Amino acid sequence: MSSEEGLSSTITDWIFINSWWLLLPFIMLLIVAAFIVAFVLLLYMISPLISPKPLKLNGAHVVVTGGSSGIGKCIAIECYRQGAFITLVARDEAKLLQAKKEVEKFAINDKQVVLCISVDVSRDYSQVESVIKQAQEKLGPVDMLVNCAGTSISGKFEEVEVDRFKKLMEVNYLGSVYPTRAVITTMKERRMGRIMFVSSQAGQIGLFGYTAYSPSKFALRGLAESLQMEIKPYNIYVTVAYPPDTDTPGLAEENKTKPLETKLISETSGVSQPDQVAKIMVRDAVQGNFNSSFGPDGYMLSALTCGMSPVTSITEGLQQIVTMGLFRTIALFYLGSFDSIVRRCMIQREQLKQADKRE
């Protein structure tokens, strides 16, 4: 072999060795990517094995507080059309009887029953316990409790009457604590059940005008997380629903006093229909999902605010991990937009005041 051939061979070997080292990072990246893909596929396969077993509504006893109108009534209808026995709980007896007639139209067999109970679930625990006991004596143990009783008020912090802060905490928070407390012992004895707390998107993000309302809905999240950790070993699953603005009598009443800033911010997400919201809520509760959200905005809010909340499948946790950074970036634009709305409204008010002074 000539010296030139030897030199050429040496150069070729050197290039091959160095090219290999240059390609090594890309090869390692492909190997890691392959492992990640395989891991994710494995999680998707085993996820159904660790998720809760869905609750069968056919023949189940479902109690719905705040069931005389709005989302509560639509939830009752959705459960009834799947074969459930329904107990409607609300304060207004006339509205309850009207709601009962509407729900009964969706019966799928002649054995189904709709029971009405008129009581204020936020006032006296012993009374709530008594009526829940009566309902269980008539229709059997409660399989699913939907805490939908609630009220709303919007206004600037300093303009909301002080006693309204207390009232909202009593209705929106204690009005969910009392019925839950009344059914939890029986559910634990039977080692089965579903409990739903109806919060709000205003229970995920504090907004202008909701200084009284938002805290009462945020409180439900803390209750739900703590309770879920206690009762999960008993095969009882908690769902927290975060509905957006929904076309209900409650929203119509709230809009009468809603500040301009709150209206403009709310308009960015639109208004949902109660029957569509109810279908999603019932589906999530039956499946044992901890979070129940609605639409792209709701999904993003739930991912952003998941924190230490429980997940009902590994895939749900993975989705939250993957989307967190992107959703936080989008959320910053939303927050900037909301702040801009508040500033513009403040400037407009100041300009109007100055114009009035000149006149």
Active site residues: 199, 213, 217
DSSP letters, 50-94, are HSPPPPP-TT-EEEEETTTSHHHHHHHHHHHTTT-EEEEEES-HH
Q: Which residues pair with 144 in a beta bridge?
A: 62, 194
Q: By three-state DSSP, how is residue 237 classified?
A: strand
User: Measured at the alpha carbon of residue 52, what is the angle toward residues 51 and 55, in degrees to the nearest 5?
Assistant: 145
C-alpha span between 121 and 13 (Å, rounded)? 83
Q: What phi and psi values does residue 55 have, to the nearest 5 degrees?
A: -80, 130
User: Measured at the alpha carbon of residue 123, what is the angle toward residues 119 and 125, in degrees to the nearest 5?
Assistant: 85
Contacts of 42 (CB under 8 A, 6+ apart): none
Q: By three-state DSSP, how is residue 248 classified?
A: coil
